[in-house]
Amino acid sequence: MNYKINISYDGTEFSGWQTQPHLRTVQSELQNSIYAIFNDKDIILYGSGRTDAGVHANRQVANFIINTKMSTSQIKNALNSKLSKDIYINDCMIVNDDFNARFSAVSRQYIYKICTEFNPLSRKYFWYLTYDLDKDMLVKCSEIIFGEHDFKNFCKTSSEKENNNCTVNKSKWIFDNEFVYFEISANRFLHHMVRMLVGTMIEVSKGSLTFEIFEQMIDCNQSKSRIITSPAHGLYLNKIIY
């Protein structure tokens, strides 16, 4: 049977999603819990995508194949009993054999969270900014991200691929008193892409970078030398669409 799990996690103490030697990652903790429950180290856990160190997830998705008499609720409860408190399985369900958490995904949605008033309780989950932000300029920047673009300027150089095109179907700033949120959905994302977009839009909003230069960077008519990467702890993988 092919089992799909929806996972939430606080990324603060993790070195990202993907298993890495000698580092604590979300995938490795999940994989070890699955091994312990089913006593089978051949089980492969497929995730919908990687998140960087410090990035959180509201609804990460993964799947694995196993023959078991356990019900989906029993699997969910067994996993949660073995996982640390900064990871939680929201639900578990049986899916078609051809379902793959990564390759079956149609789009992914991220949310970036910013606060303009310091709160010690939210310091690990929001990017705290003291600047006066030009909201109209943030909206203007978000509008030109919409659609298909080559986002090679908004990607970690070592992760650039032959094809860096992504189709953005949602790009929206939300303002709620001292809280500011950026929502973005696309068919795919490049490494650090959301954090680079947010950080650079904030530079435009502060007046440290012109809108025209930002637009040129989106159009790949300007180098990435003035790209700013926002902190990881404000970013959340919010939803995977299948």
Report the catalytic residues: 52
Nearest to 226 by CA among 204, 206, 242: 204
Q: Nearest to residue 233, comparing CAs of 129, 126, 154, 128?
A: 126
Tokens read off for 139? 């909206």
Q: Which residue has the tokens 């943030």?
A: 138
Neighbour-count burial for 37-49, b at 16+ CB within 10 Å, e otherwise = bbeeeeeebbbbb
Q: What is the largest CA-CA distance in the chain?
A: 60
